[in-house]
Amino acid sequence: MTDRFNLPARLLHWTMATMILAMLLIGAAMVTSLADYHALVALHRPLGALILLLAVLRLANRWRHPPPPLPADLPAWQRIAAHGSHVALYGLMLALPLVGWGMLSAARYPIVLAGPVVLPPILPQSPMLAASLRHVHTGLAYALVAVFLAHLGAALMHALIRQDGVFASMAPWRSRR
């Protein structure tokens, strides 16, 4: 069967979709909350690190098991948009955690994941760099929200309107058709 993403790809897509959406909400909520800030940041760091790890596994799986082709009748601009948005989604799911890790390194925070588990710094201490990366982290997160909304719209377009098997190729269940 080559009309579907393989099982690891589908599993990774849906677990990571849940995790990444949770991360966007946690991130947006924590920077406006005084009461829950600490609990949310303490969750944000390990979840973000896990996303980075899974994203690498996912790209490795994609390289070994290329995705199914898009429907032949899909207009060229949609083909380009689909390709471009997937590149953007992969890029952002790698860049956001790396920037998060980098900004905490440059700010010289210990990057605590859980209990005594601490990530090593990946950048030298630099307050200016820390502040810039902090703004980049916000910018990339907003970009991810935008690309995700487009992605969601496109997925629903395929599922509800075009009914062309693109949604089924990623659906966690087997399609009845």
| Alpha-carbon dihedral sign for residues 86, 87, 90, 93 | negative
DSSP reduced 3-state for 119: strand
Chosen from ligand HEM, another protein, none, partner binding at 162 (C-beta under 5 to 8 Å by type) = another protein
Run of H or E residues at 112: strand 111-114
Q: How many CA atoms lie within 13 A of 4 on its CB side?
A: 15
| Alpha-carbon dihedral sign for residues 48, 169, 60, 141 | negative
Q: Where in 130-149 is the site for ligand HEM (CB under 6 A)?
A: 134, 137-138, 141, 144, 148
Beta bridge mates, 111: 119
166 binds ligand HEM (CB under 6 A): yes
What phi, psi does 31 have (nearest 5°)? Answer: -75, -5
CB of 100 to ligand HEM, least distance (A): 2
Would you say 51 or 130 has its CB closer to another protein?
130
CB of 139 to ligand HEM, least distance (A): 9
Q: Which stretch binds ligand HEM (CB under 6 A): 48-56, 71-79, 122-130?
A: 48-56
Three-state DSSP string of 101-151: HHHHHHCCCCEEEECCEEECCCCCCCHHHHHHHHHHHHHHHHHHHHHHHHH
Given the rule CB under 6 A, which residues bind ligand HEM? 13, 17, 20-21, 23-24, 27-28, 31, 41, 44-45, 48-49, 51, 62, 67, 70, 82, 86, 89-90, 93, 96-97, 100-101, 104, 111, 134, 137-138, 141, 144, 148, 151-152, 155, 166-167, 169-170
Using CB under 8 A, list all residues that contact another protein.
24-25, 28-39, 41, 73-75, 107-110, 112, 115-116, 118, 120, 125, 127-128, 130-132, 134-135, 145, 149, 152-153, 156-157, 160-164
